[in-house]
Copies of this chain bind each other. A is one copy, B any other.
Amino acid sequence: MERIAVLAHGQFPDRAKTAVGLLRYGDREVVAVLDRDRAGERVAEAVPDVQDAPVYRDCEALVDDRGPDVADTLVIGVAPIGGGFESSWRPDVRTALGAGWSVEAGLHYRLGDDDEFATLAAEHGCELRDVREPPVDLTVAEGVADEVGPRVVLTVGTDCSVGKMTTAMELVDAARERGVDARAVPTGQTGIMVEGWGIAVDRAVSDFANGAVERLVRAGAGERPRDRPGGEPLPALDEPDLLVVEGQGSIVHPAYSAVTSGLLHGAMPDALVLCHAAGREAVHGYEDTPLPAPGEYVDLYESLAAPVGSTAVVAGSLNTAGLEPGAARTAVEEFAAAIDAPATDPIRHGAGDLVEAVL
């Protein structure tokens, strides 16, 4: 099993979606989280329901303490807006490459284009994995994703960072527990790092965004060899009964709506699960832009999808982290009423109700 150290400086856990996703859903062993603000703590103190690991100040401290063989790979576990590489992470990457580890990132900034990293990687025989880099042969959508065999569900959101990936992963796990052959379709860096395949749709050129999603749906349905960024196609998958496509952004996000449209029309889903964070009132990072009411999102997603492929919001997923249990129950009930569909918090209350709703 591959052992990874996950960099999350200053962001763990609340602003380190990728790190938490790897701890919660990944099948690789996380030997340490690197966060200079939490050195000496443990993951379990901040996030109780995921695999535990110690938190180190930086890569150097980890290697000093446990030796260069402690891990195989350093993973950049944060995703700043704009996808840049922070210069303060440079010593960590240097140390990792010096110890012979691979480095994996999902930034817009490509590790492979960095002269220093490329040189170090070559010297030490390490791999630089830019999982956000899309396949070079993307093209426009043919409008045929609705022809695949499995039922296709897309998680959509009222905003960024409301739980679209989490909902997709929890829905797949819950479906499998019920004997449904389900598969997640990763469309972003964390999902790709967890599942080991996928395309970062936000990195596809916008002319090919819908096409990238269509290719993913067909690959997930077993129609074609799936693509692995930067690598050769993998053998074709078998055909599952249920595909859950990880959503991105929001259809009315000032910056990311292009990505979301590509997902909605590229995936041609049979059903949508609307994800929201309790108490979120404005677009994250765009505080002058209030969020529409949840019911308006239902109308927007359904009416926008209809001309390409009719679909419906069949369930809601509410992130109630931080609320007391009673308040969380109330918030979920209110959300269900607002969208006129069953709802749950899949982390707090399980995703069983979602499975019933989407099948």
Contact = CB atoms under 8 A, between A and B. Distances in A.
Contacts of A296: 307
A253 interface: yes
B262 A291 contact: no
Given A143-B286, A292-B307, A261 B251 contact: yes
A286 B290 CA distance: 36
A140 B255 contact: yes
B254 A210 contact: yes
Contacts of A308: 252-254, 257, 289
Interface residues of A, number: 48
A303 interface: yes
Nearest to A251: B304
A203 interface: yes
Interface of A: 81-83, 108, 139-143, 201-207, 209-211, 251-262, 264-265, 283, 286, 288-292, 296, 299-300, 303-304, 306-308
A142 B304 CA distance: 24
Nearest to A263: B258
Contacts of A259: 206-207, 209, 258
Contacts of A143: 254-255, 283, 286, 288-289
Contacts of A299: 303
A207 B203 contact: yes
A291 B304 contact: no
Contacts of A141: 254-255
Contact of A262 (B140, B257, B288): B257
A74 B289 CA distance: 46
A122 B253 CA distance: 44
Nearest first, the 6 closest Cβ-Cβ pairs linking A and B are A143-B254, A258-B262, A209-B258, A202-B207, A252-B307, A261-B261
A81 B201 CA distance: 20
A304 B202 CA distance: 20
B206 A258 contact: yes
A291 to B, nearest CB: 7
A140 B81 contact: yes
Contact of A255 (B211, B253, B283, B306): B211
Contacts of A289: 143, 307-308
Given A206-B209, A257-B264, 5 more contacts: A202-B207, A204-B206, A255-B265, A290-B307, A300-B304
A262 B262 CA distance: 10
Contact of A206 (B201, B286, B303): B201
A342 to B, nearest CB: 25
Contacts of A264: 257
22 contacts: A82-B140, A108-B205, A141-B254, A141-B255, A142-B254, A143-B288, A202-B205, A202-B207, A203-B206, A204-B205, A205-B206, A210-B254, A210-B256, A211-B255, A253-B308, A257-B261, A257-B262, A257-B265, A289-B307, A290-B307, A296-B307, A304-B304
A107 to B, nearest CB: 11
Given A139-B82, A265-B254, A202 B210 contact: no
